[in-house]
Structure 1
Amino acid sequence: MSTDTPPATLDGLLQVLPVPLFVVRGDRLVFTNDALRTMLGLREGELPTILEFSARFSPDEIAWVEPLARALARGEPLPEQPTWGRMRGADGRQHLLTLLHAPGRVPEEQLVLLLDAEGGDAVRRLSTALVSTAAELLRCRDETAVLELAVEAVHRQGFYVSVMLLEGDFLRHGPLRQEPESVAIAERLYGQALHEVRIHRSAMPHLTDVLVRRKAAFHPDAFGMVRKIHPPDVADSIQSIYPPGSRALDAPIFVGDEPFGVLAVQSPTLTPANAGALELFAQLIGGALENVRHHRAAEERLAEVSRLQGELVASERLTALGEAAGVVAHEVRNPLGAILNTVAVLKRESRLGPSGAAAVEMLEEEAIRLEDIVRDLLDTVRPLEPRPRPVHVGELVHRAIGQLHGREDLPTPRVAVDEAPDVPDISGDETLLQLAITHLMRNALQASPAKGTVRVAVRRVPQGVSLVVEDEGPGIPGVDPQRVFEPFFLTRANGRGLGLAIVRRVVLAHGGTVRAGARPEGGARFELVLPL
């Protein structure tokens, strides 16, 4: 304080200041202004000792207030940083105050100001809560979970909050915590759920400006913003529900360098100070969303690495199998041809008798079965070069059913085909696709009981055409469903383990996907998706 100002004039200025203050010299207060006397209920001219004054603080504060009071009484230097404390007023109410000090008019005096710190305390509480929530956000692995946790944390601090999601040129409400009555009114007037209402960015220029400038906007009049977003009837209904004097904050949320949306907060207690904490929290939300996307990308890369590793193993296995198949085909097919020729000659021989004829018949069946195995083995390993032409999947299904109907080696379950009317043709190799679908249908028929049902569904899907085949057999218990597509993997004692391997090779050669799984009601479910 300057010593050039006359004492009477200076005291007069201090007396009318709205901030409580006092001047201390030694162990006594030598001056108090009107604001301090009103707050503490002091009489005119009453000047307590510094220790009497410090007794007004909360008992929890005494541990640091008394040493501070003794330092003041001795004229020792005080901490440079503001000190926070709670003091009991004349009305019995606790006041949170910041103690600031400055030199007095003479060296032995100290001027102490008591600034209202309730606002700062509220900011500290809000910041502490939001920082704690930010640590939880980083553990989320889903974007919706991040947003729900964030809006709940802000709402718990006494604010209304919603996230406006940016979708191209439109904005829509994401997770929110608003008055249920106002949400119901808005949905009734819009005629749809609030989350489905899409508002063009041009109708919300204040939010567009927030995203362009990447800086939050504080609005002293929240309802002015409401009227910019909603039609008058919706805005009137909202204003009738929320407390008057509400303020609003729109804080941008960015994920990396891409705009994601806006954190919109409203409350009568919203101030520029706590708005700053909320703007920082919006940045932390963006960081948590980016973290989720990094984890998702890492999982996708890991899945891709696993897929490529599986394909490499499968390719090496097929290479070895192809070499063996070539030897088998060469060494087995010629003897098989000789056997079948001999069987044909023997069948024309009239002197065989019933037992001889039965033996020849059995020999022919086993030779044909062995030839089928060799053919399937070659189909499994031979290079596939599809020759595409328009093919209708439903037609191939019906053709496969016709080929397999009445086979003595197959059960005769009921086959129910459900083909959608809008299924388009695909571009594929008709011969290879017929081979794959026939093997898939044969597998389902072999797995089903005689009185069961094989269900076939052909549908158009975003990726192309889907073929689903379900049976009522024993299913695929206790193993990874994708292993059934490996060569020689058997789920039945009388199987060959080659049919589904052929199915997979044909589908992959057409750029499609094939999945195996359990049917909820029991049995197995296979789905082929072939691109158009």
Structure 2
Amino acid sequence: MRTVGAAPRMTVVSTPSADYRLLEGLPIAASVIRGDRVLHANAALASLLGTTEAELLSTPVLELLSRYVPLERGWVEPMYESVSQGGPLPEHPRWLRVRRADGQERTMRIWYAAGLAPEDTLMLVQDVEGEGSVRRLTEALVAAAAEMMRCRDARSVLETAVDAVHRQGFYVSVMLVEGDSLRHGPLRQKAESVAEAERLYGMPIGDVRIPCAAAPHFVDVLQRRKAAFHPDMYALVNRIHPPEVAANIRKLYPPEAQGLDAPILVEGRPYGLLSVQGTTLTPAAAGTLELFSQLVGGALENVRHHETSAERLEELSRLQDELVARERLTVLGEAAGVVAHEVRNPLGAILNAVAVLRREAHLGPTGQAAVGMLEEEVVRLEDIVKDLLDVVRPLEPRPRPVAVGELVRRALGQLHGPPDAPTLRFTVDEAPDTPTIEADETLLQLAVTHLVRNAVQASPSGGRVRMTVASHADGVCLVVEDEGPGIPNVDPARVFEPFFLTRANGRGLGLAIVRRVVLAHGGTVRAMARPGKGARFEVHLPLEATRRSPA
């Protein structure tokens, strides 16, 4: 057999062997290759390529490949050289894009067979450009693209995409880029293949990480931003997966399957790949799927824009709420200053008068009771004025190491609630690994005391108040639960507004103080109804105070 590419170009037209003259009458394009030359080419092939039989017979095969299949030379030329040097013929038909002499590109399918002589190779070529399957695929993927644009999260986009491709008879996977590795996203593959792969990997397929260094082909597709069609899918499988996994794939999928890997780009950056396999995957269909992968990227960008818009709207709403809260606190602060100045002096005078009256010996039981009631009410008014000032005064935390569990126990020790408070049951659960935090001990004690007092005042006699302290993320979480009436049918965030009352005997200031102190430390606090009965308050405090607006 002659070495490929060694002979000079011929200037005469070869005489077709009489044994191959039967190919002349075939309506299907056919040719016979011997070494580096076309031994025979029928009129149907010349017409298909837009050239003449003489041109085909007088031109070396490698030059014909360069001229008519420039996009496929990467795999066609090595295959030709292997066959021309005695290698095995391809067992299954191949799809490829052919560029006619007039520049038109056509999709063709080629069958290979042994010729009459050992050194001859017979090729039959079918023009499949007009197949309706590509049109049906395009229509189905266009409909799926419209559906994807209505999705509001990335997972829904990808699930819609793989469903649409799978319904057209293909197997499909999405490979997601995560740093220096790739992992499987949504996929539609044979269930037994996935199960066997998970057994071999020892983990769910979605948890398998494939280093980019082990899949240079995928990296090349992402870098070139252009899809790659694989007439031999198994060659790629062998390069990516361990031998036992690759053997499992070869066992379950037909050997004539082709593959396609198309890049998914989001905002110009690699997001992943759309990987498709199937026995009916043609280069024309691959082109449609490549366009579809671009639409997938557009739908993912659409999701990101919606998420960004929602985040900005939420931030705008938060800033608006803070502005309203600041204006409210400004007015409240001015009023609180007037109240404190105008009320505290009279209250002090009343308390002095109460002290004088208590020393009067002629007061009977009724008088003593009246004096005691007067003293209690004055103390209550002083507490209200103090709470009012705590709500509006600027908070400047002075951090030092603080144990939140100790603050909770101290708040319980200082508690003086309603007469039935001693009948309540209190439990404090503190995790042994709870860290200390950097916080203003005085301010935090104030917040914890108000939070515990709120739970006590909300609970019925004989009820239970439970406090839990534990580490959480990068800080500490304090949870206070009661068995009271719970939170009314309003937004739970409103319970932290000044003067918002849920009880007839409440002041509406304690929880407002809690919120301002927690926010001043860079933490968060939220309220929610407990399942069944009662309320639950969660306070998250960072290890180090990071001041936020306490409005």
TM-score, normalization by structure 1: 0.78
For 2:332 and 2:417, locate their aligned partners in 1 and report how far apart those are by CA, in whole Å.
33
Asked whether the equivalents of residues 329 and 374 of structure 1 are also in contact (C-alpha less than 8 Å), the reply is yes
Residue of structure 2 equivalent to 1:294: 305
Question: CA 1:34/1:170 → structure 2, altered by over 3 Å: closer, same or farther?
Answer: closer
Cα drift, residue 422 of structure 1: 2.2
SS in 1 for 2:428: strand
Moved more, 349-358 or 502-511: 349-358
Contact 2:527 2:537 in 1 (8 A): yes
Moved more, 155-164 or 518-527: 518-527
User: What's the secondary structure of 2:414's corresponding residue?
Assistant: helix
Residue 258 of structure 1, aligned match among 269, 279, 283 = 269
Aligned counterpart in structure 1 of residue 415 of structure 2, from 385, 404, 415: 404
Aligned twin of 1:369: 380
State the secondary structure of the residue aligned to 2:210: strand
Q: Could you tell me how far 1:364 is from its partner in structure 2?
A: 0.6
Whole-angstrom CA distance in 2 between matches of 1:244 and 1:299: 48
Check whether the contact 1:412–1:445 (CA below 8 A) recurs between aligned residues.
Answer: no
Percent identity over the alignment is 71
Q: Does the C-alpha gap of structure 1 residues 253 and 332 become closer, same or farther in structure 2, counting only changes over 3 Å?
A: same
For the residue of structure 1 that corresponds to 2:132, the secondary structure is helix
Q: Which runs of 5+ in 1 are unaligned?
A: 1-11, 21-32, 36-81, 83-114
CA shift for structure 1 position 462: 2.2
Matches within 5 A, 1:108-147: 117=128, 120-147=131-158
147-156 vs 195-204, which moves further: 195-204
Is the CA contact 1:380–1:498 (under 8 Å) kept in the aligned structure 2?
Answer: yes
Q: Distance in 2 between the 1:122 and 1:161 partners?
A: 18
Match of 2:365, SS? helix
Q: For residues 92-137 of structure 1, give each alpha carbon's deviation from its aligned partner in whole angstroms, at most 9, with x where no partner exists.
A: xxxxxxxxxxxxxxxxxxxxxxx85576311111111001100000
Out of 322, 333, 336, the residue aligned to residue 344 of structure 2 is 333
Q: Write out per-residue CA displacement over residues 126-170 of structure 1, whole angstroms, 9 at most, x where no aligned residue.
A: 111001100000000011111111111110000101111111112
Q: CA deviation at 1:247?
A: 1.1
Does the 8 Å contact 1:411/1:449 carry over to 2? no
Q: Is the 8 A contact 1:411 1:446 kept in 2?
A: no
The residue identity in structure 2 corresponding to 1:362 is: M
Q: State the match for 1:85 in structure 2.
A: none
1:513 aligns with 2:513: no
Change (3 A) 1:488 1:466: same
1:187 aligns with 198
Which amino acid in 2 is paired with 1:403?
Q
1:16 to 22, 25, 30: 25
Amino acid of the residue matched to residue 454 of structure 2?
N
- Counterpart Cα distance in 2 of 1:166 and 1:423: 37
Structure 2: which 5+ runs fail to align?
Answer: 1-20, 30-41, 45-103, 105-125, 544-551
Name 2:163's counterpart in structure 1: 152
Q: Return the letter of the residue paired with 1:273.
A: A
Q: Give a deviation string over 1:73-103, Cα, whole Å, max 9, x none.
A: xxxxxxxxx9xxxxxxxxxxxxxxxxxxxxx
Q: Distance in 2 between matches of 1:172 and 1:389?
A: 45
- Structure 1 pair 363–217 and aligned structure 2 pair: CA distance change class (3 A): same
Kept after mapping to 2: 8 A contact 1:406/1:412: no
Provide the aligned length of Structure 1 versus Structure 2: 431
String of CA shifts for 1:364-421, please: whole Å, max 9, x gaps: 1111011100100010111111111111212211211222267637464322222222
| 1:202 partner letter | A
The question of 1:275 aligning with 2:286 is answered yes
Give SS of 2:433's match: coil
Q: Which residue matches 1:449?
A: 460
| 1:418 equivalent in structure 2 | 429
CA distance in 1, matches of 2:185, 2:347: 70
Given that 2:262 and 2:275 are in contact with CA atoms closer than 8 Å, whether structure 1 keeps it comes out as: yes
Are 1:308 and 2:315 an aligned pair? no
Residue 7 of structure 2 corresponds to which residue in structure 1?
none
Report the residue type matching 1:130 in the other structure.
Answer: L
Secondary structure of 1:437's partner?
helix
Residue 19 of structure 1 deviates from its aligned partner by 4.3
Cα distance in 2, alignment partners of residues 119 and 514 from structure 1: 65
Paired residue type of 1:357:
Q
| Residue 320 (structure 1) aligned to one of 323, 327, 331 | 331
Q: Is the 8 A contact 1:457 1:468 kept in 2?
A: yes
Q: Distance in 1 between matches of 2:422 and 2:304?
A: 50
Query: Structure 1 480/146 Cα, relative in aligned 2: closer, same or farther at 3 Å?
Result: same
Matched, 1:165 2:176: yes
Quote the Cα distance in structure 2 between the aligned partners of 1:492 and 1:254.
Answer: 56
CA distance in 1, matches of 2:280, 2:500: 68
Q: Deviations over 1:238-284 (max 9, x none)?
A: 21111221111111111102211111111111111101111111111
Letter in 2 for 1:304: E
Q: Which residue of 1 aligns with 2:491?
A: 480
Decide which of 394, 401, 413 is 1:383's aligned counterpart: 394
Give the distance between the partners of 1:197 and 1:185, measured in 2 at CA.
13
Aligned residue among 257, 260, 263 for 1:249: 260
Q: Deviations over 1:176-203 (max 9, x none)?
A: 1000001110111111111111121111
- Output the CA distance in 2 between the equivalents of 1:245 and 1:370: 88
- The answer as to 2:484 corresponding to 1:469 is no
Q: Which amino acid aligns with 2:360?
A: E
Verify the 8 A CA contact 1:476 1:524 in the aligned structure 2: yes
Of 121-130 and 396-405, more deviation after overlay is shown by: 396-405
Determine the structure 2 residue equivalent to 1:500: 511
- 1:253 match: secondary structure: strand
Question: Which secondary structure does the structure 1 equivalent of 2:131 belong to?
Answer: helix
Aligned Cα root-mean-square deviation (Å): 2.2
Q: Is the 8 A contact 2:391 2:512 kept in 1?
A: yes
Letter of the structure 2 residue corresponding to residue 18 of structure 1: P
Cα separation, 2, equivalents of 1:302 and 1:410: 44
Work out the CA distance in 1 between the residues paired with 2:328 and 2:404.
30
CA contact (8 A) 2:529 2:535 kept: yes
Q: Match of 1:48? A: none
Tell me how far 1:464 sits from its aligned partner: 2.2
Q: TM-score, normalised by structure 2?
A: 0.75
Superposition pairs of residues 24-39 of structure 1, within 5 angstroms: none
Shift of residue 445, structure 1, vs aligned partner: 1.3
- Give the corresponding residue for 1:458: 469
Cα distance in structure 1, aligned partners of 2:429 and 2:130 = 68
Q: 3-state SS of the aligned residue for 1:450?
A: coil
Q: Deviations over 1:405-457 (max 9, x none)?
A: 67637464322222222222221111001101110111111112222222222
